[in-house]
Amino acid sequence: MQTRAVLEAFLDRQLSLEEAIKEIDGFCELGFAKIDLKRTERNGYPEIVYGEGKTVEQLIEIINALNKDKKTILATRISSKKAQPLIAEFPKGHYHEAARCFVVNQMEANSIQYIAIVTAGTSDIPVAEEAAITAETFGNQVKRIYDVGVAGIHRLFAHLDEIQKAAVVIVIAGMEGALVSVVGGLVSVPVIAVPTSIGYGSNFQGMTALLGMLNSCSSGVTVVNIDNGFGAAYNASMINQIKEDLI
């Protein structure tokens, strides 16, 4: 609600003073956190809860604050240990163990087009699942194409038609990160690269893959941070929704 509309509603006694202040402030004060209640109106998506470093008690308070307005809630990097009390507190929520994500009030599918999520190896799947669950939480269709790395490139070609028909492609790879350059040269849609910390010593916890992806010779490739499946899916969702609006 815009500030003018809030003030008019207050003058017409449609809102109490406390309700008007809450609408204008746009956040909920919890002491240890300020929950952004107006992010959906500004950005199209609600505030995301990053679970690492937060206690179970803090997570419950944050989710309760968001849940009052029945917002779509995505909490990332939630360990299985933290998930158990969250499931008990929010029985309508769902914990995705491979993705380490807890979701409440998932958006209904609102896209005809889909996001393709492609991994080089099986070891990249946890990051890929974080991306997949994030995209699905925000109403996108997702197609998972896993373990098609360059060491056996014929596996990639077996899925090429499916990849080329996607609205946007997320490519996830560790080791030297070569897969993204190959995919980038085969598709006509945006490619979002996610380096992972998977690999032997000289992978340097993902730095080798990150630098390789940043130096990709394929045009149309953008790169997010190491292991950031969430960030890749958030951007892919925005691209997919823009394309949906143009149909």
The residue to which tokens 């950005």 are assigned: 43
**DSSP assignment of 55-78:** -HHHHHHHHHHHHTTT--EEEES-
Strands 221-223 and 191-195 turn out to be parallel
pLDDT for the residue 2? 65
Q: How far is CA 45 from CA 74, 84, 85, 124, in A?
A: 10, 26, 26, 26
| Residue ranges, the chain, pLDDT below 50 | none
pLDDT for the residue 23? 67
pLDDT for the residue 69? 74
Tokens read off for 234: 């958030």
pLDDT for the residue 1? 55
Which residue segments constitute the domains of the chain, with CATH numbers given? 25-104 (no CATH), 114-246 (3.40.50.1970)
Dihedral angle over CA of 176, 180, 186, 188, nearest 10: -160
| CA–CA separation, 94 and 135 (whole Å) | 15
| CA–CA separation, 41 and 165 (whole Å) | 31
